[in-house]
Each structure stands twice: as structure tokens, then as C-alpha cells.
Chain A
Amino acid sequence: MRARARLVLALAVAIAAGAATSVAAQTSNDLFNDQKLQRIDLYVYSKDWARLKAASNENTHYPADVRWSGLAARNASIRSRGSGSRSGTKPGLLIDFGHYVGGQTFVGLQRLVLKNLTQDPSTVREFLAMKLLRRMGIPAPREAYATLYVNNVYSGLYGIVENLDAVATQRLFGDGQGYLYEYNWLSYYYFTYPGADLQAYAGMYIPVTHEAEPPSALYGAIEAWTRTVNEAADEEFVGSVQAYLDLIPFVRLTAAQAYLSELDDFLGSWAINNVFIYRSPGKTVHQLIAWDEDHALWASDYPVTAGHDENVLMRRLMASSEWKSAYFATVLEAADVANQVNEDAPGQGWLEAEAIRAIGMVRAAVYADPYKPFTNDEFELDAARVLSFAQQRGPFVRCEVARLTRTVPARPCLVPAVGRASR
């Protein structure tokens, strides 16, 4: 009898230890595992939650406990976030694990974005765009999906987005000590030179790290970069600008975004927007990080050189035949990656297969989402558009690049009919 009791006790301890190990072993990669629909629970004082929603245009922090997959972060903070996506019905949220507890992280993360997916009825545009960028080795945040429960009540489907901060730059660049800025859209800005006054840059480039440093440390390199882009002589342009911008990643990002038909990025329809800029400590060279791609996969026939003429940096860089070739080569690379043959579904390219999988994964959660600002029919309609894009974009882009690089006669490229496109 005693032996049996000891055995039961040993089993219980082993099970408990195993459970503890599995919980403790989870990392941020598990949280951003996009092969499954995650579940995140928030516990928020009920009146705080009501106030957050009522004043969603404010950045007031509220205390919350966060639970995911058996792990809990106590005393985290949540606040409303977003620009055009701000919503009092289905608020986008920024979770800050260390706001109230100095140094607290959750699976190694300081902050986490819960994107409310209100600007994309398909809910998959940004997810697919970021996944393509990462697949091409371009700096972009990790993303996954989660059903969000607030105080045990289902509050909708959210995108889990890796917050861009020192932890993210450590992962992306192996360096978490540098200067990170979020570009802040104030007006239509095409990288013209605002002048030598550093305050002109302070409003546009919001420091995410080193916030307390003086303007000279924060904006001196950005001013020099901008001045060089605008004032360098044509023959010295590339060489001069390379001192301030890592051109290869820049061209790869803009080319991939062109393939993705992202309307609202560095070369977007509303001028520069949705980009983070990173500079290693002690250096003057900047790199761009993609952000907020929910206007991606917009139109199959979206021009691959959209925004080039307006943006001073891009216009002058594309004047270099070497960099122009690199740009179009990357656009074609994006087409190749997006249409890579899927072994599991031979009839589908990689992007199409991912779109089908993602839409299928989130469909039930979208249907059940009581706070989404669109109907289930609108979701299905937009999801179909995304699938069409995945099928049609490759042929169009290849044709367009050939036309622009004059390898074929300069005639308009047409969007192929769905189902008959050659990838």
C-alpha cells in the first residue's frame, strides 16, 4: 500500500515537473508559431477595460494580467494603439510587460502588439506580407494569430505582432543597443531636406530607444543622411548615401513591398509611412524595418515602380543603372518566392497556399468575432481577392519588369484570369 502511494506520488511529481518544463521551455517562437491559432487571455479591471475602449484615442496605460499557453505575466500594462486602426469597439492593444514591473519580460519580450485587424476584412494581408518578407530575409516582425479573451469573454481575432524594440533589433541585427525610430506620419513627405534644425526631424522620427539622449545624438545622423540624399552630386550620390543607408537591404525591402503591392509604406500612396529605422551605436548607417502591411496584396496590376518619382531617395537611386537592376532583380526574386512550388499542393504557389491555410485557420474565429467592423460576407469576398492576388501577381510583375527593363516590347501587361495564370 505504501509502495503504491509512493508510486502515485512519484508519478504526480513527474507529471507536474513535465508540465512545468513544457511551460518553462516555451519561447517567443512558440508564441509566434503561425501554424496554429493562439489564445491569449487578458484580465483587466472591468471599468479600466470600458475606459480604454471609451477613450481609445488616448495612450493611457491600464494594468492587466496576461495569460498564454499556461504562462502568465502579472502586472503588465495594456494601452490602445494604432493610427487609422484605433477603435473603441475592438481596440488594438500594446502590451508592455515591464511598464509596472521594471525589467519584466514575457517569453523574452518586453512588449507585444495585438493588432485588431480592423482595416483588412480578409485579416490576412499583413500576415502574408510579413511572412513573405521574412522568407526573403528582409527585416520584418514576426506575426501570428490569436483569439483574444478579455475577462474570459471572447473579444475577437487579433494579430500577434512582434513589437519593434531593442529585443527585436537584437534578433534582427544581432544588436539591441542601437537607435531605433518609428517614422511618424505628419504630412506628405518624400525625403526632401527639412533643413539643419534638428527639431524638424524630432516630430518625424520618434525614438523608441535612447529616448533621453540629446537631439544631436538622436537626429544628427538622420539630418546628414537627408541632406546627403538631397544635395550630393549625381556622380557621388550612391557613394555618399551609402555612408548613411545600407542600400542593399533598402532596395530589397522596397522591391519586395512593390511585389506585395503595399499601398502604405516607404514609397506608398500617402508618401513615406509605416517604417522603422535602425542605426547601430556609433555608426551612421541606417536600415529600414517593415511595419504595418495591412494594405498589402492590394491590386494584382499595381505598378512595381509606384512612388519612385516622388521620393527623392528612390528617384535618385534608380538613376543608377546598377541599383535599378538590383531593384528589379529583387522584384523578380519576390515573384519567385511567392510562387515557389508547393510540394503539398502542386497547383498552388507558396503565397497562395499560405493564404488558403491562413484563411482557413482564422475563418471560424472571424465568424465568431462580435467586434469586427465588417460582415462575414465581406470577409469571404476580401479573402477571395487575396487569393486572386496570390495567383495573378506573379505573371503581371514578371511581365512588368520585362517591359520596364526592355527585354520585351514596351506594351502594357495584363492581369491574367484567375486559374489560368502561369506562375
Chain B
Amino acid sequence: MTAAIWASGTMLAGLLCAAPTPGLCGPVIPAASQTATAQTAAQQTAKKSDKGKPKKKNPAKADDAQKAKDKNGFVWKDRPSLRFGKNFRMDFRLKLQADFLSTPDPTLVDAPALDMDRRRFGIKGSVLQGLEYEVEHDLRADGKWRDVYLNVAYLPYAQAQSGKFKIPFSLEELTGPTDLDFVYRTRVVDALACGRAVGAMAHGRLLKKAIHYQVGYFRDDGENAPGLEPTYADEPLPADARGPAFAGRATVAPFRAAGTKGLLKTLEVGFSAVSTADVPEGPNHLQGQSITGYHFFPRHYLASGKRARQGFELVWTPGSFGVKAEYLTSSEAREGVGVGTPEQLDHTLPDLVGSGWYVSGTWVLTGEKKDGGIVPRRPVFRGGFGAIEVGARYETLRFRSATADGPASTSRRSPTVLPNAEQAFTFGVSWYANKWIKVQLNGVHEHFDDPQRSPMPERPSFWSSVFRLQFVL
């Protein structure tokens, strides 16, 4: 609580410091230095860099910067921070997002029109120059711990991380919510990616960061999967959670590895996979959800056994442009939950398969570089207008049986499930006022294959719009 109160005070001071008011905030810390200290090797998410910024060569200012770097105690470095030389750093983080979702039918949205669901406070830093940590918690009465981990980062190519953090699967899932190109993650990533779990991971970067690998062992396969339910409502929940899960992800920037300079240098491709040892019998499969929260493919069919996921990803950020694409697929076993055949009692059903992909393109109209995150060259309150980015995205997500065996049915023991799919177009514009404030406006057109399982029955396609106001320290 004390830290929270303190953070509020320093946050206010920090905001004031954003304005060009000499003497009010102490020495100015060079942006390059901020980036170097704020970045962790453990998570490639929320990566900020100042590569696009003009270098400051003034010797006097460089001297001031060095002094600031060496300062002990509380400092302002984009956010309030507590530092003692190189051996201790604790940044205080705050993330606030307010969303205004508008749909053709207001009753589609359970939450109020103004949704301030994402309110998080945390600390992040390092100890003894090689031990990195992060702790983040929701600022809600029913909130939960988000990231809570320790990363041993003495060797860039061989690091070890333990605690609760995101399972290394899916580029977009690993991108922090405040760094997304669009307000909402894609339906396929929301449905098929894992989210956070407690576990341990080895990871590192090789060949001048051209290759990045992550291999982990987790207690389960993440928070995104629906909670476990028994087959029969009156029976107790399964004694043990699903899991454990094994995950691996590797990305490679082939042109960077080859030393190529130019636009292709930022092209990166990757593959990731997660395998869960066992999911207890029950309606515990992954489910498809629209942006309103409506489940167009709800948990219903009985699953039992291994759940596996694979993902392919591509990201390319040439200059002010950004291109991202992913293909994700999940396969969930249904061992011994069938009605049986003349040959076998309680037979095994074909796997339940979820699959989907997206491709998105963005363009920073004001010219800032996309790679590493957009930092406005001329922020608001410093004589500028900030940065403007526009983008478009197409995505699809489908659930079905791996093989068709008989008629598609709503029976939860049906070999052939009643399939459904969603396709969505998103058009968006984002305004980066400064490092802390971002405003996004998206128009989303959703289409559902089964009109009866659309958020609005008999109306399979409709537009929604969402406006987001974001503040991040």
C-alpha cells in the first residue's frame, strides 16, 4: 500500500516532468539510457528503443546524464524508479486502459460501456546486474497476480527464468497489452494462446540476437484455457489441474543473422509449440469468443487427454511499416468419451481442432520507426502532435473435428462436432501522444459461419467500434 501511495505521487511528478519545465524534475535523463535500463532480456514484450531518436552529442549534457545514471535513490526515468548504482533497480509500473465498446445491440456486452478492466500496478527491475525480476498485480478487489518471476540473465545466450509469466507461445500473446497495434488481440490468439502459468524456462539470444529460443516447463498450459469442469455437474471437479505443459519457441531473423543490412534486417520468423500432458474429462476444450465476449464455440464437447498447440509467426518492421502474421492450431484429445461401438466400449473420438490465422499491416504516418515500439519524435506537451499509426487486420478462427465421422451434432459425445468459425476485419488508427498516453480507435467487422451461434442470432455479420484510452508508466 505504501508503495502504491508513493507510486501515485511519483507518477504525478513524472507527468509534470513530461512538460518542459526546467528545474522542476531534476536532471534530464537521456532517452538512450532509459531504454537500456528498462529493458529486460527475459521478455521481448514491451520492448522500447530509442533508435529513432537523434543522438545528443553535447558533452555537458552527457556529463549530466552520467551523473543521473549514477544517482542513488528515487529518480524519474520515464517512470518512478528506485536505484542504487548498478546493483539495484526497481521501476514502478502502472497500466491503465479504458475501453468504450459500441455494438449494434448494447445488450451484447456484459460489462458497462466504459470498461476499465485493465488496471495494473507492478515493479520491475534488476539486482546484482544479472538478476531480473517483475511483479505485477491487478488493481481490482478481485484482481490476481500477473507476472511474478525472477530471471537469471548473466549470460545473454543462456538465461533461466522462474515464476509466473507467459508461456512462450504466439507472438501477439507475448506482446504486452499496452503495445498492441489494435485494441483487441485477435480471436485466434485469445482462443488458442496460453497466457500465464507458473513454471521455469531456459531462454537466450544467439548470433547477435538473430536467434531467440525459449524452452519451458509449466504447471499447466496457462490461464487462457477455460477453468476445469467435470463431465457431470453434480460431481466434484477433477482433483488435479491439467498439465504439466511443455513449451518451446524459437525465432530467427535470417537476414540479421546473415549480416544483411537494409529493410529485410527486421524480418523475423518463428515457431512455437505447447503440449499438455493431460486434460481431465469434461467440457474443458478451448472455446471461440467474439470481441463482445459471446462464445460462438462455447465449451460443450467432452475432452479428455492431451492438448497440443502449434504456432507459426512472422513479423517484419521495415521503417515505419509493420507486418505481422501468425497461424495457430490446437488439437485436443477426446480419449474414451464416445458412446461406444460394437467393437469398443466408450470409444475415443476424433480430436477437436481449433485453427486460425491473421495478417496485419500498420503504417506510422508521422514517420517514426516501428521496430522496437513507436516513440513519438514530437510528443504532445513538447511542441509536437505525437505519432499517428494506421492499420488493418484480417483474422479467422475455426473449430471442428479432426475427421468427420457421422453427422455434425450438438451431442457432447459426438464424433463430429458442430463446427463454427469467425472471420473479422479490423481497421484502426492509433495516436501516440507521448510515451505514456495512447489513444486507439478501431472498427471491427465480425462474421460468424453459423447464424444461430452469432452474438445476434440470424445476423451473422455486423460492425462494432471500440475506443481505447491508455496510460502507461
Q: Report how far A74 CA is from B410 CA in the complex, Å.
A: 12
In B327-355, the 8 Å CB interface with A consists of 337-342, 345-346
**Chain A: CB-nearest residue to B413:** A63
Min Cβ gap B405→A in Å is: 8
- Asked if B408 and A63 sit within 8 Å, CB to CB, the answer is no
Proximity string of chain A (46-69) to chain B, C-beta cutoff 8 Å, 1 when within and 0 when not? 111001000000000001110100
Cβ contacts under 8 Å, A77 to chain B: 411
Select which of A45, A51, A75 is within 8 A of B340 by beta carbon.
A45
- Asked if A63 and B412 sit within 8 Å, CB to CB, the answer is yes
- Asked if A104 and B407 sit within 8 Å, CB to CB, the answer is yes
**With A75-B414, A151-B345 in contact, do A44 and B340 touch (Cβ < 8 Å)?**
yes
Min Cβ gap A64→B in Å is: 6
In B226-253, the 8 Å CB interface with A consists of 231-232
Cβ of B409 under 8 Å from chain A:
yes
Cβ of A43 under 8 Å from chain B:
yes
Proximity string of chain B (391-417) to chain A, C-beta cutoff 8 Å, 1 when within and 0 when not? 000000000000000111111111100
Cβ of A41 under 8 Å from chain B:
yes
**Chain B: CB-nearest residue to A153:** B345
Select which of B232, B340, B346, B408 is within 8 A of A101 by beta carbon.
B408
- Asked if A100 and B345 sit within 8 Å, CB to CB, the answer is no
- Asked if A75 and B342 sit within 8 Å, CB to CB, the answer is no
Q: Report how far A63 CA is from B340 CA in the complex, Å.
A: 10
- Asked if A101 and B407 sit within 8 Å, CB to CB, the answer is yes
- Asked if B409 and A64 sit within 8 Å, CB to CB, the answer is no
Q: Report how far A77 CA is from B410 CA in the complex, Å.
A: 11
Cβ contacts under 8 Å, A44 to chain B: 339-340
Select which of B231, B340, B411, B412 is within 8 A of A43 by beta carbon.
B340
Q: Report how far A41 CA is from B407 CA in the complex, Å.
A: 19
Min Cβ gap B293→A in Å is: 26
Interface size (A, Cβ < 8 Å)?
Answer: 20
**With A45-B413, A46-B346, A51-B232 in contact, do A65 and B339 touch (Cβ < 8 Å)?**
yes
Cβ of A152 under 8 Å from chain B:
yes
- Asked if B339 and A100 sit within 8 Å, CB to CB, the answer is no
In B351-394, the 8 Å CB interface with A consists of none
Min Cβ gap B268→A in Å is: 46
B339, B341, B412 pick with most chain A CB within 10 angstroms = B339
Min Cβ gap B298→A in Å is: 15
Min Cβ gap B77→A in Å is: 60
- Asked if B406 and A45 sit within 8 Å, CB to CB, the answer is no
- Asked if B410 and A100 sit within 8 Å, CB to CB, the answer is yes
Cβ contacts under 8 Å, A101 to chain B: 407-411
Min Cβ gap B445→A in Å is: 28
Q: Report how far A280 CA is from B413 CA in the complex, Å.
A: 38
- Asked if A45 and B338 sit within 8 Å, CB to CB, the answer is yes
- Asked if A151 and B407 sit within 8 Å, CB to CB, the answer is no
- Asked if A43 and B339 sit within 8 Å, CB to CB, the answer is yes
**With A74-B406, A75-B406, A104-B407 in contact, do A43 and B342 touch (Cβ < 8 Å)?**
yes
A41, A48, A64, A101 pick with most chain B CB within 10 angstroms = A101
- Asked if B337 and A45 sit within 8 Å, CB to CB, the answer is yes
A41, A43, A44, A67 pick with most chain B CB within 10 angstroms = A43
**Chain A: CB-nearest residue to B302:** A45
Q: Determine the main DSSP class of B at the interface with A.
A: loop
In A141-183, the 8 Å CB interface with B consists of 151-152
Min Cβ gap A372→B in Å is: 24
Select which of A41, A100, A151 is within 8 A of B411 by beta carbon.
A100
Select which of B337, B341, B407 is within 8 A of A75 by beta carbon.
B407
Cβ contacts under 8 Å, B340 to chain A: 43-46, 65, 151
Q: Report how far A74 CA is from B340 CA in the complex, Å.
A: 11
Cβ contacts under 8 Å, B342 to chain A: 41, 43, 67, 152
Interface size (B, Cβ < 8 Å)?
Answer: 20
Q: Report how far A278 CA is from B242 CA in the complex, Å.
A: 53
Cβ contacts under 8 Å, A46 to chain B: 340, 345-346
- Asked if A43 and B414 sit within 8 Å, CB to CB, the answer is no
- Asked if A64 and B410 sit within 8 Å, CB to CB, the answer is no
Cβ contacts under 8 Å, B346 to chain A: 45-47
- Asked if A74 and B407 sit within 8 Å, CB to CB, the answer is yes
- Asked if B232 and A75 sit within 8 Å, CB to CB, the answer is no
In A62-121, the 8 Å CB interface with B consists of 63-65, 67, 74-75, 77, 100-101, 104
- Asked if A100 and B409 sit within 8 Å, CB to CB, the answer is yes
Min Cβ gap A70→B in Å is: 12
Min Cβ gap B13→A in Å is: 63
Cβ contacts under 8 Å, B337 to chain A: 45
Min Cβ gap B377→A in Å is: 59
**Chain A: CB-nearest residue to B341:** A43
Cβ contacts under 8 Å, B339 to chain A: 43-45, 48, 63-65
Q: Report how far A104 CA is from B414 CA in the complex, Å.
A: 14
In A283-336, the 8 Å CB interface with B consists of none
Q: Report how far A45 CA is from B301 CA in the complex, Å.
A: 14
Min Cβ gap B438→A in Å is: 47
Min Cβ gap A10→B in Å is: 29
**Chain B: CB-nearest residue to A43:** B340
In B436-457, the 8 Å CB interface with A consists of none
B337, B338, B346 pick with most chain A CB within 10 angstroms = B346
Q: Report how far A151 CA is from B414 CA in the complex, Å.
A: 17
Cβ contacts under 8 Å, A151 to chain B: 340, 345
A45, A46, A101 pick with most chain B CB within 10 angstroms = A45
Min Cβ gap B153→A in Å is: 50
Cβ contacts under 8 Å, A51 to chain B: 232
- Asked if A63 and B407 sit within 8 Å, CB to CB, the answer is no
In B406-440, the 8 Å CB interface with A consists of 406-415
A48, A64, A77, A100 pick with most chain B CB within 10 angstroms = A100
Q: Report how far A101 CA is from B408 CA in the complex, Å.
A: 7
Min Cβ gap B368→A in Å is: 54
Cβ contacts under 8 Å, B409 to chain A: 63, 74-75, 100-101
Q: Report how far A67 CA is from B410 CA in the complex, Å.
A: 20
Q: Report how far A101 CA is from B417 CA in the complex, Å.
A: 10
**Chain B: CB-nearest residue to A77:** B411
Cβ contacts under 8 Å, B232 to chain A: 47, 51
Proximity string of chain B (19-52) to chain A, C-beta cutoff 8 Å, 1 when within and 0 when not? 0000000000000000000000000000000000
In B174-189, the 8 Å CB interface with A consists of none
Q: Report how far A67 CA is from B407 CA in the complex, Å.
A: 15
Cβ contacts under 8 Å, B415 to chain A: 74
**Chain B: CB-nearest residue to A44:** B339
Min Cβ gap A65→B in Å is: 5
Cβ contacts under 8 Å, A64 to chain B: 339
- Asked if B414 and A63 sit within 8 Å, CB to CB, the answer is yes
Q: Report how far A146 CA is from B414 CA in the complex, Å.
A: 26
**Chain A: CB-nearest residue to B409:** A75
Min Cβ gap B274→A in Å is: 29
**Chain B: CB-nearest residue to A75:** B409
Min Cβ gap A40→B in Å is: 13
Cβ contacts under 8 Å, A45 to chain B: 337-340, 346, 413
Min Cβ gap B412→A in Å is: 7
29 A-B interface contacts by CB (under 8 A): A41-B342, A43-B339, A43-B341, A45-B337, A45-B338, A45-B339, A45-B340, A46-B346, A47-B231, A48-B413, A51-B232, A63-B339, A63-B412, A65-B339, A65-B340, A67-B342, A74-B415, A75-B407, A75-B409, A75-B414, A77-B411, A100-B409, A100-B410, A100-B414, A101-B408, A101-B409, A101-B410, A151-B340, A151-B345
Given contact pairs A43-B341, A74-B414, enumerate 6 new A-B contacts (beta carbons under 8 Å): A63-B339, A63-B409, A63-B412, A64-B339, A65-B339, A65-B340
Q: Which residues of A contact B (CB under 8 A)?
A: 41, 43-48, 51, 63-65, 67, 74-75, 77, 100-101, 104, 151-152
Q: Which residues of B contact A (CB under 8 A)?
A: 231-232, 337-342, 345-346, 406-415
Smallest CB-CB A-B distances: 6 pairs: A75-B409, A100-B411, A74-B406, A63-B411, A43-B340, A100-B409
